[in-house]
Amino acid sequence: MTTTEQEVATAASRYPQHEAALEALYRHRNDWAQTSVEERLSVLQQVKDALLVVAEDWAMAASKAKGLPESSPLAGEEWLAGPGAMMAGCNGLMHTLQQLEGKAFLDGVPRRTLANGRLSVRVTPSSHWDRLLLSGITADVWMQSGVTEGNLAEHAALAYDVPEEKREGKVALILGAGNVASIAPLDVFHKLFVENQVCLLKLNPVNDYLLPFLEKALAVLIDRNALHIVKGDGAVGAWLTEHPYIEEMHITGAEATHDAIVWGTGDEALRNREAGTPRNSKRFTSELGAVCPTIVVPGPWSKADIAFQAEQLATQKLQNSGFNCVACQVLIMPRGWEHGADLLEQLKTVMASSTRPAYYPGAADRLAAFREKANDPVEVSRGEALPVIMAKTSDADYFREAEVFGPAMSLTELEAGDAESYLRAAIDYANEKLHGTLGANIVIHPETRRAIGKQRFEELITELRYGTIAINTWSGIGFLLAPCPWGAFPGHTLEDVQSGIGTVHNCLMLEKTERTIVEAPFRPFPRTLLTGRPTLLPRPPWFITNRRQDRVAELLVDFYHAPGWLKLPRLFLHSLQG
């Protein structure tokens, strides 16, 4: 028996509560699968009520654990990406379940046929509240081949097509992520409400301080034996993946962890890969990060445009201190663009002002490895915080192949004879040179986009093979929007998993999705009033430069719990002051 096998065997005897939790889930798996829609709606409302009670303590505990100064506006990140995302997820699922009969939840969803013949479904905005709170933001889900306007209902909420009394449940293992608080519970929601599977959630040791808050917020599911939450190290996780009660698994984490579960490690992994015999053949869905690009398209930017987009790019890199699987890692710029140097200088200035600590374990070592591979690294000093390290992507294959997971990014410059040819070259570069397909961003001036042409621009986007594509915003916003499927571009395999297999979230319960396109205005309010696309969105609350994001996010959580017109004035006031 190897050391690892000994550790796994020991874990089973050391954690009898895990065994008891699995036994309870296994016994009750069909009970959950056969719960009525009315029961599920009641469960979600109870989750919302309990979540509101613990939201503030949750956000404050997460802020403290990540080293944020007391009263820092950046606590808004923990409100938004914790209780906020969960509250929005509950609302989205409730909206679908309330109109499940005849799949009426699809009736009011705008759809159109793309130039390539595929179906596009507009999932955001989906209400008048969205149009006010997410003014100017849209999200479209592009479907895979074979899904049409006529058969869309045949590719939605399939688990509910089976009569309640005939549904059979399964036990799913959720291996939670350590960076963003809502990832694990939203993964649980997907398994419970979209796939009819009860869940054992093992929290990541990095953020297992969330346990008491999750136990309170999700108590109604725990009491039903539809969910149990446990702690544990890697040995516990390995034991759980092999447990006979576990029928399916989902992980948000590292590609190496996924491959160790599927293939093993060392010589064992090599033998299993050569033989095509996975060590673990259970259905395994995953979201595993990527070397995510941001493509800056040349255009007639003003000084105000440069300043705003510098904040946007800094946010794409340093939100959550850079510990996001969809953080920008490769910045693709047009060589010789007249505004390029100014944009980069302002980007460095904004990043230098972000002095929050790097809380995630191993960050300093990963940053050192990044620096060592660069021929002439640039360090953006941030006081006592780790510096942002910038390199040229051409210095080493490493910069195109390895997700750094920390405050580092590389720069690629491509020829820019004209905007369209440059964008086409940048898309080819992202597709062919960069590892993974989770998220990509494009920053493009409205006049440049009009010059390319609506249909041609859409054709170019069709070639960009990423699960979420953000235009003039950050692909991470797709994570926060409940109707958006979240995951890699379809096509990865266990043999070459890259950014993972399958999707989560997706409160409309759509099947055969291909990608999500999220768009936001190029300029913030009030400058949008001078454009052909006026919106009310000021500096977004997820920007690291937003001075009121903590207040905005706290008010949003309360609003999502119980929307009302009287709550809007305070929300708008703090939003404008951000």
- pLDDT score at 535: 76
Identify the DSSP state of 81. I
* Range in 191-200, 257-266, 343-352, 531-540 with the lowest mean pLDDT: 531-540
Residue 530's pLDDT band (cuts 50, 70, 90) = low
For 379-429, the pLDDT digits (tens) are 999 999 999 999 999 999 999 999 999 999 999 999 988 999 999 999 999
Residue 171 has pLDDT above 70, yes or no: yes
* Range in 67-81, 318-332, 474-488, 519-533 with the lowest mean pLDDT: 519-533
How far apart are the C-alpha atoms of 551 and 484, rounded to whole Å? 25
- Range list of H helices, 284-418: 303-318, 340-352, 363-372, 398-401
Residue 186 has pLDDT above 80, yes or no: yes
Strand-pairing partners, residue 408, are 389
- pLDDT score at 12: 64
Q: pTM of the predicted model, to two decimals?
A: 0.96
For 38-67, the pLDDT digits (tens) are 999 999 999 999 999 999 999 999 999 999
Residue 218 has pLDDT above 60, yes or no: yes
Instruction: Determine whether 439 is exposed, middle or buried from the number of CB atoms within 10 Å of its CB (0-12, 13-18, 19+).
Output: buried
How far apart are the C-alpha atoms of 110 and 324, rounded to whole Å? 31
Backbone torsion region of residue 264, taken as left when φ is above 0, otherwise alpha when ψ lies between -120 and 50, otherwise beta: left
How far apart are the C-alpha atoms of 537 and 302, rounded to whole Å? 19
The DSSP secondary structure of 187-208, one letter per residue, reads HHHIIIIIS-EEEEEEPPGGGG
* Range in 191-195, 199-203, 572-576 with the lowest mean pLDDT: 572-576
CA angle, 53 then 220 then 235, to 5°: 100
